[in-house]
Chains A and B, each alone.
Chain A
Amino acid sequence: MARRYDTRATIFSPEGRLYQVEYALEAISHSGASLGILADDGVVLAGEKRNISPLLDDVKYSEKIYKIHDDLCCSVSGITSDANVLINELRMIGQRYLLTYQEPAPIEYIVSRLCNIKQAYTQYGGKRPFGVSFLYMGWDKHYGYQLYQSDPSGNFGGWKATCVGHNSQTAISILKQEYKIGETKLNDALRLAIRVFSKTLDTTKLTPEKIEIAVLQHDDKTNQTTIRMLKDDELTALIKQYDDEQSKLEADRQKQQAASTTDRK
């Protein structure tokens, strides 16, 4: 690798790559995973918690999932301090739009504005890019439920289901097989999230302390969006449901195996 070209963040390499941006993406791939799934009647964001020491004080609301605006919530993967700065900026973008236009900001507007800021750090100033990828979930009156992903390069895209962070490739391939476009309801999305996390998390057993899940739903009658963090007992119930399904599958498989071996005899 041509090391001389790494030192300045805003310089291309001879192969036409921006190394600092790629290094930022590398930093993110070592951090806790964030998973987002779009359902017909809501959106789910799930995050893998890394800070689970029992010494941690209980004051903070959440480690990975933050509310940005009335109908927009995001999940963070990467360097937490960089994320805090960007989350503050996201909130300000939302409020400025509300002040000027007296209505909630469209989701893509907020994402796009932040991504322009992120892009500036890859082109001007000589400062390093932000080492954070966000997953945004939201509702607006223009496009309904939406899920977006943004990364340090300033690129963003809309997704039906995606994952960033640790083991995200594994998660995405599971999602590609199991996500049913147009047929997923919120419960299916939640079960799918648990299923993906059980396979991608390093731990053998999934527990409520290791993950946090937030659900966004919009009630058309009252025109209110609710963003809800799942509580420990709901998480335990979901995990138990998944475990029961797994043991049932395992039991069926063993029965089939036993049946097939007897056939052979």
Chain B
Amino acid sequence: MGDDIMSYNGGVALAMKGKECVAIACDKRYGVQNKTIATNFTKIFQYVLFENVSFFLKVQTVSERLRFRTNLYELREQRKLKPLVLYNMLTNLLYERRFGPYFVYALVIGLDPKTGETYVFDSDNIGAISDNVNLATVGTASDYIFGLGELFFKPNMNADELFEATSQALLNGVDRDSASGWGAVVYVVEKDKVTVRELKGRQD
């Protein structure tokens, strides 16, 4: 593992777009360098349910601080957050700590229930913004998963195909990385519902 703080705990997440659906998946390992401590540490934190859905890679402090800001936004504006707003809030939060950053990479996905427009964004740990991409990965096994993701991705997939593509890319990608794995959790967000599935992969 070496000295790299970003690979200290390990873990990985992947997000992919389909037709009026988006999926985000993460592994469940929580470890300290090469020691695995827990195998139920999902890194996905849900912000708003059903109206404008946005998901995000969780590390406790960042997610709690983001929740502080999103709660105040919703109280003052009297409406739910849009995915792009959440993403901008998050990147702003991360950049505030430009010279003493949070050690977290972020993925935000969202779906507008009225228009069906899908959003997938990722960010580095100081809040560099990305475009709305088809596929995004973060984590220690991100390169491996990205390759598989590119292979399995087709434009305009429906929810089931999207689930298959996302889960296969993640499960097979983490097998190449010792710091990720121990199963996966996949959230598929559609206009009217969110489906959560837990997958059992190689338990090593």
Give A contacts to B, CB under 8 Å.
61, 67-69, 88, 91-92, 95-96, 98-99, 102
Contact = CB atoms under 8 A, between A and B. Distances in A.
B75 A68 contact: yes
A72 to B, nearest CB: 11
6 contacts: A61-B78, A91-B75, A95-B71, A98-B68, A99-B67, A102-B64
Contact of B72 (A61, A92, A102): A92
Contacts, number: 21
Contacts of B72: 91-92, 95
Nearest to B78: A61
A99 B64 contact: yes
B193 interface: no
Contacts of B78: 61
Contacts of A68: 75
Interface in B62-94: 64-65, 67-68, 71-72, 75-76, 78
A91 B76 contact: yes
A99 B93 CA distance: 15
A67, A88, A91, A95: which has the most chain B beta carbons within 10 Å? A95
- Interface class of chain A by DSSP: helix
Contact of A99 (B68, B75, B76): B68
Contacts of B65: 99
A61 B78 CA distance: 7
A140 B180 CA distance: 40
Contacts of B71: 95, 98
A95 B68 contact: yes
Nearest to B77: A61
Determine the interface band of chain B, counting residues with CB < 8 A from chain A. Answer: under 10
8 nearest CB pairs, A to B: A61-B78, A95-B68, A99-B68, A91-B75, A95-B71, A99-B64, A95-B72, A91-B72
Contacts of B75: 67-69, 91
Contacts of B68: 95-96, 98-99
A252 B68 CA distance: 58
Contacts of B64: 99, 102
Contacts of B76: 88, 91
Given A95-B72, A99-B64, 4 more contacts: A61-B78, A98-B67, A98-B71, A99-B65
A15 B67 CA distance: 50
B147 to A, nearest CB: 38
B24 to A, nearest CB: 23
A95 B72 CA distance: 8
A92 B68 CA distance: 9
A95 B67 CA distance: 9
Contacts of A96: 68
A129 B78 CA distance: 28
B102 to A, nearest CB: 15
Contacts of A91: 72, 75-76
Contacts of A95: 68, 71-72
Nearest to B69: A95
A67 B68 CA distance: 15
A88 B75 CA distance: 9
A228 to B, nearest CB: 14
A216 to B, nearest CB: 15
B51 to A, nearest CB: 16
B62 to A, nearest CB: 12
A27 B71 CA distance: 32
A246 B54 CA distance: 52
Nearest to B71: A95
Nearest to A100: B64
Nearest to B61: A99
B5 to A, nearest CB: 24
B161 to A, nearest CB: 34
B113 to A, nearest CB: 21
A92 B71 CA distance: 10
